[in-house]
Structure formats: C-alpha cells, structure tokens
Structure 1
Amino acid sequence: MVRSTADLSGPALTEAIDRAHGCLRRNFRAVQGASGWYHYLDDPSPGVTASAVGLYAFSVPGVIFERTPDVLRFLVSQQVSSADRRDGGWSVRTTNGFPVAEATAWVVRALSRPEVGPLSGGDSLRRGAEWIKNNQNVDFGWGSHFGQPSRVFLTALNMLALHECGGDRTALSNAQRWLIDAQSPSLPAWGSTPGGEPTLVHTSIALMALANIPGALSVNSMRQTAEWLLEKLEPGVHVERSTTVEEYDVPYPQGDTTAVFQNSLPHFAGPLAVAALVSTGAADPLQAKLFNAIQGILDTQQEGGHWELPRSPVRPSIWAIWPFVSALTLVRSAVFTTPNSRATLLFPGCVIIQNDDVEQRLTRRLLIKNALFDWLRAKWITVVLLLTSMVATGVPLALLLIRKLSTVEFLMALIIPVLLMVFDYARERRSVARGR
C-alpha cells in the first residue's frame, strides 16, 4: 500500500490542548487573595510568573479561563509601586518584592492578550511596559533588571512583551540592534549570550522577537535561520542538553545588603522551535519533520495533561505546559481549515485535508491512484519496453510448448527481448548520471 509522508489529526491536537487546560484547571489555587499557579503545580501558594504563564497558556488558543478575573486581581495587587526604576514591575517569590524582567515580561504578555486585555484595565499594563523600557540596559539588551548583563532569552522575551502591548518603539528598535549583534558570527543562530554556542532555544525566541519588526531580518536571513532550526530539530526530543535549564545569578538589593537569587529557567527546545518556525512564516509547516515533531508532542503528553519536566519528572510544572500548548495551537491554525479534520502529507508543501468523520479509505484511494499515475508518467518508456519484451518472450514460449519451435529457434527469439531490457537498463543508468 502507498503510504503518506506523515499524518496529523486536528481532533487529536485539540484533545491534547484541552487535556493541558484540564491540568491547569485541576491545579488552580486560591489562597488568601492569591489566585493562580506556581511553577510546580502541586504547590499550594500561587506565584506571579506562573500565574501569568497560566493565563497565557489559555489565551493562546483563544480560551478564556473562567477564573481569569481572580488571577488578574492577584497580578495587579503584586505590581510594585515605587518612585524609582522599580515602579511598575513584578517580582518573584524569591526576590522579596524586587521586580525582575522574567516576571514582568510574562505578566505584560498575559495582560496584552486580546482575550484578557478588556478585563485587566490599562494602567497596570502601561506601568509594566514602562518598567520594561526603564530597565533596558545601556547596550540596549535586557538582563534580569537594569545593570545586569544582557542575555538573549531575556532580551527576546522583553521585546515580545513590548511588541504585544504596543510599547515603546524606540526601545524595540534599539533592542533589535543588540539582538542582531548577539548572533553567532559563523552561524545564523543565537546562544544564551553574545558569542555563546548556538542553541535551539535561543535561536527560536530570537527569531520570534525579530520577526515582529519589519525589516529586522532579510528574507534570506530568515530562511537561513529556519534551515538551521529544522536541521537541529529532532522530532520526539523536547529538550536539548545545554538548555534544559538556563541558570544564572541575579543580585538584588535587600535593605543595606545585596542578596543573590539563582535563577533557573526550564526550557523546551523542541516545541519552541516548532512555534518559531510556524509563527514567523520562516518555514512551510507542510513538511514531514514538523508533522513528526507535533506527533512526538502528542505521543509524550502525560496522563495528567502535562509533559515531563526533565529535572523533576514526577511533578507537573507550568513550564511543561505552555510551550507545548503554543506549538500545538500554532500548527493547528496553520495546517487545518477546520479543527475536525485530518491532514495527510503527500510531499513537502502538499497535503490532503479530510474531515475526520469521512471514511479514511478515500485518502488511501487518492494516494494509490495519484502515486500510480505519477509512476506511470515517469516510467512510461520502461513500461512499454517491458510489455513489448513480455509479448516477444511469451509468443515464442507458447510455440515452444506446443512444439512449433525448436529450442535453438526459441533461444534466438529471445534476442530481441534481451536487447530491449539491456537498452532500458542503459537508459536508466544514463538518466541517473545526469541527475534526472
């Protein structure tokens, strides 16, 4: 039977997204005015960053979580009020009220979603965008806060937040230059810091941040980066060893002293790369490697609706949900005309989209029919020569069996079929040598 290159089911993608949302709903926490989630979903006390990421995971597929107003009230209540550069930012549980870029960018992204925005009010979002602008470093990148070394992931994350909230264009333009300069000098890719070893994670988020700025990357640069991502992408492998967790120290003032928080950002390279390739339009989504990467995501979803966090495989985490939901949603939107359909990839750039409730034998018939016609068009000379040889052999053989030909005469009659097959073999070899 002729087989397709790859298949995807729209209902399977939707079911996986719904299971992930079910995991978030089951693990929603409301404790003393704090409503949302923490990094580890089994933790009873919600945190700022995780709560923003949870809302983001609902809003990307266009789903409004029924407890969104409660989460927004919690986030707004945690915004820092100050007369200095700290005003408008958000802290994490371990920085004791000192705002950092990781939390602030995620809250701004969550508040900027069209499904959330009308519920959030404008002042909190405006002040968050101001914090991002005010904490941009003098080199135009972002660290955890003003004065901390600029990093690729944080710079791209803050650029995405500014773009999504309609923030300061000058800050974005300046950040664009920093991010382009941070690219590897020898590859169309990025590492965690300027000059660092390129990774899937940092290349993916840098591509997404730059793709939002018209003219930031040429068409050729986008194509080269997409080719690099596709080459490195391994379907079914969701993390790369070098970026399983991105760790670095974040010093911050604590009274008259300086405290240090070791930041650990878990990354999922596979789904992030899929999201970058599809959302930026840098690669055609109709290709086997992307289909297989999505199938790998579907196959590895845990029974509880989340995916496995490498360093803590038995504990569900918010970080092991949002990148997968984002990748599934983007591919579903790019590939399927309706969610209740199946895509059968024939070859890159060509799929059959079929309603999932239609008999699947139709697809098989189309595949066999088209494959047969394509083969006949390509091999018609071979088919003609083969049929001629069969006739030229069959007739003498029949005459031999009824004793109308002698053995010598039969062997002489085989000369023509043999010559035809030799001619066809030589013609095929010549075509291969010419690259046809």
Structure 2
Amino acid sequence: MVSAIGVGVDLSRTEQALENALSFMRNRFRPGQGTGAGGWYHQLDAAVPGPTATAVGVDMFQRVGAPFDHFAECLGFLRERQARSADTRVNGGWSTNTSLGHPVMEATGWVAYVIGTARTGLVGNGPDARAAYEWLVNNQNTDGGWGSLVGCPSRVWLTCLGLRALHQLNPYAEAITTGLEWLMAARGEPGGWGEIPGRPPTVTHTSFALVTILELRPQWNDTRTLPAFEWLTAHLDPTRLDDGDARVESYNTSFLDSNGASVVWQTVMPHYGLAFAASALLRHPKGAPAELIADAFKTITSGQLPSGAWPNVHGGSGESIWSVAPFVNALADLRRVSPAMASDHILWSPSLVVIQRADAGDQPLTAIIRAQRRARFVRAFGRHWSVGLLSLSALLGTLFVGLGRFSWQDFTLGLILPLGLFATEQYRNRRTT
C-alpha cells in the first residue's frame, strides 16, 4: 500500500490472516494417548501428536494472545513426554517422534522456550521447568554452541533455539554468554550466518540469529549486528515465501546407546525465510526498511491459502505446522514491535500518527513527503528508463512521420538504438534477479 507519506501495511489484512491461521490450528488439534492430553504433530494430518509441534502450536496462541481451549491438555502431553533418567544429559529433555526416544534440541529447545513464555513453571500438571533448564545446560557443547545433543556439531539454528529457551528460563545463565560468543564467532565474512560456521550465509539463518541476539541483548543494535542487517537487506527477495538457499536443512544425528552401538537418524527442517526475515527487519537498528517490510507482508498475506496455512515448502499437498508458525510469529511481531526508534519524533493527529526519524532533523513533514516522492520517481526511472526511452522514441517518430518530417525507413532506423538499450537493460535486470 502506497500513500502520500510512503509505503504502508494494511493491518486489517494481517489481523485476518492471523485469525485464519489460528482457526486452522484449532481444527487440527489431536488428542494424545494419555488421559487429558493432546497436541499437534508437525505433519498436521497425523493422528499422534509430538512435543515439538505441540510446543510450537501453543507458542502461536501465546504470541497472538488468543484463547485456546486445549492449553491444559497440551501441557499434560508435554509433561508425559518429558524424559526422566538418572543420566543428567537425558533427564528433563524431549525427544521427537523420530529421534528413537532420545531427547534432542530440536524438541527440547521449543518446549523449554514455551514453558518460559507461557509462564507454566509452577503449573502442577505442566512440564518440569528446572529439569528442562538443566538439560539445556548439560547438553551445551564445550565450544559454547549446541547441536542436536551434546557432542554433536554445533549448528546456528540449534544454538539459537538453545539461547532463546535459556533466556526464558534463566536470563542470567552463564551458558547464555558462552552461547552468544559462539554465535557471534560463527558469522561469515559478509556479516551473515549460514547453517554452520564456514558455510555461505542464508537469509533464514541470518534472520533467526538476529532475532535471537536482539531478543537476548537489545542493546546490541549497533555495529555488532548492523553488518548482518545490511547483508540481509541486500539479499532478501520479498516476493518469495521461502529462502532459495535454505528451503530445507538436513543433517544426520548420531549417539552411542547403552550397549555402545552407534544409532543414527536424519533430521529434516523446512524453513520459510521470508517470515524470519520480516521479524528480523522489524528490529533493524536504523529503522525497518519500509519498502522491504511492506512488500514482505504483502507477500505473506497474499500467499496464505484458503485453509489458513501457507504453501508446503516441499511442494506437496500435506499440511505442516512449519507452514503456519513462522508466518504467525512474523504477523504477531508486526503487532508488537514498535517501529519507533530512540530519538524519533511521534506526531499525532485525530486520524494520523507519523513517526519522524531523528535523522530528518527539523524538516517539516511536507518537505519530507516531497523528498520521498522525488526519490520514488528516481527509483522508478532507474528501473524503467529503457522502456521510457523506447516509448518516447516511438511516439516522436510516429508524430514526425505523420508530419512528413521523417520517412518510415528513417523511423525504423531510429528505433534501433532504443531497442538495443531496452534489450540490454532487460537482460541485465534478469541477470540481477
């Protein structure tokens, strides 16, 4: 949406998208095998719930502040599935339905995070928050990061899960400091993050790392994160729901069982880069980039399916919780993350609220609007100058032929240069995109 002041986001559309998504999730709730328990599995048409998807589902309703009738059943299910063991590296964690009963970060990170955000630590039938906290600490690698479990290679995504969960359960934990040190050291040369240190940066991992860092350390919205924001702004395609460089993150996890035998399984995590990028850019240290944000949320709201979910990143027809949760989180962030920065000026009128950036100085609003109009015209001209030149040449040529000043042969020859420039510009644009 474009107005005289600038681009904007229609919040009525984002609210409708949230309502549709939560209605979809309510209809996909599944009862568990225990009494008074239930939840979701990441493949939402599956009958048996899993702890990861159940925690992610609860988190959606908590973020939006929407009522959910099965909250107690979800807590009961998560309590049932929490591991109990004399082994401190097992006790208190959660396994996925495919990790052969062994607790892993892919599940424990999400459940522990929700225990904290939902403030269920003292709920009688809820999961054991202290045991979950101890699992996170006991499964941190010596390098400061986290893998699926202790001893597995540290990964950016899983380290972010561990940090966010620890911050909710104990924001003063020493493990947070060492985890942040690992995460900051895992950045690539351009300033962004990839799946693991040394891999090329992706929109998805850079965005999730930025959201994590600023959630834990809001004061780091400076040179410690600005290069990553600049990289993200330069590489984000706001017209795509997924990240072409990180649509799916796949890796093997292994551990030794009680008999000393190696047990291996594969983990596959689908990612929707645009949703994570939108959440990150709302926290940009220099203010959210207006056009990118507007285009991103336009793509998100227009890309929602009639069911309330978003298209499956795998291209199949199956419904996945990962095609709902990231978008709900981004839409909820649009609600609650203020676009105002320190030192900005907020101008109120009965029907209008304008946030004027501090770097605009004492310029009157009318001058800023005129400057934005000129800037939009310059950007449009820069993108479409070859079309304008070709159209102008054709119009003038037709006029002069009609007046008898040129022959049709002269007119045709005169179009060769504009046509050549047009073709060259179109080729360059396609190479760029």
Q: Return the alpha-carbon distance in structure 2 between the equivalents of residues 255 and 373 of structure 1.
A: 69
The residue aligned with 1:359 is none
Contact 1:266 1:319 in 2 (8 A): yes
Deviation, 1:315, is 1.5
Contact residue 246 and residue 265 of structure 1 kept, 8 A: yes
The one of 178, 187, 190 equivalent to 1:187 is: 190
Is the Cα contact below 8 Å between 1:91 and 1:99 reproduced in 2? yes
RCO comparison, higher one (Cα < 8 Å, 6+): 1
Which residue of 2 is the match for residue 29 of structure 1? 30
Match of 1:15 in 2: 16
Aligned residue number for residue 360 of structure 2: none
Give the Cα separation in 2 of the matches to 1:370 and 1:216: 33
Q: Distance in 2 between matches of 1:2 and 1:79?
A: 52
Q: Which residue number in structure 2 is paired with residue 61 of structure 1?
A: 64
Of 306, 330, 335, the match for 1:303? 306
Quote how far apart the aligned CAs of 1:115 are. Answer: 6.2
Structure 1 runs of 4+ with >6 Å offset: 120-123, 348-356
Q: 1:24 to 1:137 in 2, by over 3 A?
A: same
**Does the CA contact (< 8 Å) of 2:43 and 2:321 recur in 1?**
yes
Distance 2:108 2:278 in 1: 25
User: Residue 135 of structure 1 contacts residue 145 of structure 1 at CA under 8 Å; is this kept in 2?
Assistant: yes
The answer on whether the counterparts of 1:69 and 1:119 sit within 8 Å (CA) in structure 2 is no
Aligned to 2:199: 196
Q: Which amino acid aligns with 2:60?
A: A
SS of the residue 2:8 aligns to: strand
Q: 1:322 to 1:282 in 2, by over 3 A?
A: farther
Native 8 Å contact 2:192 2:206 kept in 1: yes
Q: Secondary structure at the match of 1:221?
A: coil
Inter-CA distance 218–329: structure 2 relative to 1 (3 Å threshold): closer
Which position in structure 2 is the counterpart of 1:94?
A: 98
216-225 or 291-300: bigger deviation:
216-225
**Matching residue of 2:142:** 138
Give, in whole Å, the separation in 2 of the partners of 1:284 and 1:83.
Answer: 49
In the alignment, which residue of structure 2 is the partner of 1:276?
Answer: 280
SS of aligned partner of 2:251: strand
Report the counterpart of residue 238 of structure 1 in structure 2: 241
Alpha-carbon separation, structure 2, partners of 1:101 and 1:299 = 33
Q: CA deviation at 1:75?
A: 0.3
1:172 aligns with 2:196: no
- Helix, strand or coil for the counterpart of 1:8? coil
Query: For residues 334 and 206 of structure 1, what CA distance do their matches in structure 2 show?
Result: 17
1:229 aligns with 2:232: yes
Q: Secondary structure at the match of 2:224?
A: helix
Q: CA deviation at 1:62?
A: 1.8
Partner of 1:148: 152
1:73 aligned to 2:67?
no
Task: Provide, for residues 190-248 of structure 1, a one-character-per-residue CA deviation record: whole Å limited to 9, x for no partner.
Answer: 11111110011111121122224448846123222212111212112121222111000
Deviation for aligned residue 1:79 = 0.5
RMSD: 3.0
Consecutive unaligned residues of structure 1, counting only runs of 5 or more, are 338-347, 357-368, 379-436
In the alignment, is residue 209 of structure 1 matched against residue 212 of structure 2? yes
Superposed counterparts of 1:250-289, under 5 Å: 250-254=253-257, 256=259, 257-278=261-282, 280-285=283-288, 287-289=290-292
Q: Please say if residues 38 and 47 of structure 1, whose CA atoms lie closer than 8 Å, have aligned partners that are also in contact.
A: yes
Q: Judging changes above 3 Å, is the alpha-carbon distance between structure 1 residues 190 and 302 closer, same or farther for their aligned structure 2 residues?
A: same
Letter aligned with residue 181 of structure 1: A
1:45 to 43, 48, 58: 48
> Contact between 1:10 and 1:336, CA under 8 Å: does it hold in 2?
no
User: CA offsets per residue over residues 54-92 of structure 1, 9 Å max, x none?
Assistant: 001111112242101000000011110111111110001
Letter in 1 for 2:20: R
2:110 aligns with: 106
> Are 1:126 and 2:127 counterparts?
no
Once the two structures are superposed, residues 255-304 of structure 1 have per-residue CA deviations (whole angstroms, 9 ceiling, x without a partner) of 533221100011111110111222x4535236121011011100000110
TM normalised by structure 1 equals 0.74
Aligned runs of 1:306-385 on 2, under 5 Å?
A: 306-334=309-337, 370=366, 374=370
The amino acid across from 1:28 in the alignment is F
Give how far 1:333 is off. Answer: 2.5
Deviation at 1:166, TM superposition (A): 1.7
For 2:347 and 2:294, how far apart are their aligned partners in 1? 11
The 2-side partners of 1:143 and 1:317 are apart by 24
Say which SS state the counterpart of residue 7 (structure 1) adopts. Answer: coil
| CA pair 313-282 structure 1, distance change in 2 beyond 3 A | farther
Q: 1:115 to 1:126 in 2, by over 3 A?
A: closer
Change (3 A) 1:214 1:23: closer
Cα distance per residue 1:84-128 (max 9 Å; x no partner): 111110001112221001100000011111465564668611111
Quick check: which has more Rg, 1 or 2? 1
CA distance in 1, matches of 2:369, 2:211: 41
Percentage of matched positions with identical amino acids: 33
8 Å Cα contact 1:2/1:371 also seen in 2: no
- Cα distance change, pair 15–215 in 1 and its aligned pair in 2 (3 A): closer
CA-to-aligned-CA distance 1:151-200 (integer Å, 9 cap, x gap)? 1111111101111222562101111111111111x211111111110011
SS at 1:187 equivalent: coil
